[in-house]
Amino acid sequence: MLHKVLAINSGSSSLKFKLFEMPTEKVLAAGQIERIGKTDAALKFSYTPEGSAETSKIEQKQPIESHEVAVQLMTQALIDNKVIESLSDIEGVGHRVSNGGDYYHDAVVVDDEVEQRIDELSALSPLHNPVNLQGMKAFDLQLPDVKQVATFDTSFNATIPLSTALYPIPYKYYEKYGIKRFGFHGPSHQYIAQETAKLVPEAHKLISCHIGNGASISAILDGKTINNSMGFTPLAGLMMGTRSGDIDPQIIPFLEEHEHLDADGIKAMLNEQSGILGISEISNDLREVEDAAAEGNKRAILTLAMFVHQIDFYIGAYAADLNGVDAITFTAGVGEHSATVRKLVAEHLSYLGVKIDDEKNNANAEFIQSADSKVKVLVVPTDEEVIIARDVVRLLKLGD
């Protein structure tokens, strides 16, 4: 029996969605609503009409004042374009949620208590959990009889041992506030771990590189995370599009004193003005920085060198955590599409026996290592939404 399941990723001003036919995992429709709260908000989605081999695309602009209105617009568009006959066709909705804290080490069916805990954990993920919850509440109103599932970014990282997860600050703050390394991008790293295991069954020691505007690297041993470069929040680890990644913590009081920045100013600087944008002063889009570097822009060249160095730094650290590495998999926007970054990263990994084939790398092939490489190097497109859809089917027992 086939089931229609929605996978949802709610942002502060956006709502991304995929409608799956399960268990075939066929994508019936996919898209996003952008600029929620603005008069020029836009719905964009694609679908394949029944009986057609061609994909149809829809784009419409109109004021969309809230996530509730966005959900109404999205579901009505699915009906109007005959992707579904009625709302009753949707049997489950899954949501990506940033932080499940120490409460949730797996996805969970949403109820009032779960919503309360997601709200409570907004203190740990203030930029993400509140809007994830908004998405849930919007579906509560639109599909009141349909059960929802929360898939947490932190769940796949719950296997990180405490000796790795704790920060060397007074232990009482872990006891009082739960401050530790949670790690993020869990659905992506979980998908990559599963796909890499299919492609390289003998690979027990995997380093998964989710490199996009947000970026994280995971050390995965026999399918379980033992480390992740993000930390207490998604701000930690690698430099990203606009996020700083790891910095000396003493920089914060220094800038508070000398630049007269308050807590909000510091948060804005670290989350919105740093990383690739902050160093290059060109863009947070690495493609534009790569183009500028190719033209000899010194700041772009510096940015690219910093970015590559940090990726190599974490790969080296995680090779030590794993006591070796069998496979390195690149995914997400940069990881999947930037042959330049992959090549530069690999040039500094010869000590691990990593060698890539330039022709395969430039073609974004599935396997890009050379014949004499001791480590398999893969490029695998991520699919966080299918992990969410699988969680919905498993927890709502739709396959029974």
Q: Binding-site residues for Mg(2+), please?
A: 9, 384
Q: How far apart are the first and last CA of the chain?
A: 9
DSSP helix/strand/coil, 380: coil
Structure tokens at 47: 């679908």
Peptide bond into 23 cis (omega under 30): yes
Structure tokens at 118: 């997601």
Q: Binding-site residues, please?
A: 9, 16, 96, 210-214, 285-287, 333-337, 384
Structure tokens at 21: 């036919």
Tell me the pairing of strands 376-379 and 3-10.
unpaired
Residue pointed to by tokens 């066929």: 26
Q: Give the C-alpha separation, 312 to 325, whole Å.
A: 13
364: number of Cβ within 10 Å: 15
The answer to whether the beta carbons of residues 335 and 342 sit under 8 Å apart is yes
DSSP-assigned states of every residue in 174-211? HHHH--S-----HHHHHHHHHHHHHH-TT--EEEEEEE
Instruction: Please state, in angstroms and as integers, the Cα–Cα distance from residue 164 to each residue in 33, 197, 231, 244, 286, following that order.
Output: 38, 24, 11, 22, 31
Q: Binding-site residues for substrate, please?
A: 96
Hey, which residues are catalytic here? 153
Structure tokens at 299: 């700041």
Q: Give the C-alpha separation, 150 to 95, whole Å.
A: 5
Task: Indicate the helix (H) or strand (E) that contains 391.
Answer: helix 384-395
Among 243, 179, 258, smallest CA distance to 212 is for 243
264: number of Cβ within 10 Å: 8
Q: Binding-site residues for ATP, please?
A: 16, 210-214, 285-287, 333-337
**Alpha helical stretches, state H, 143-181:** 162-165, 171-177
Q: Which residues contact 263 (CB under 8 A, 6 or more apart)?
A: none
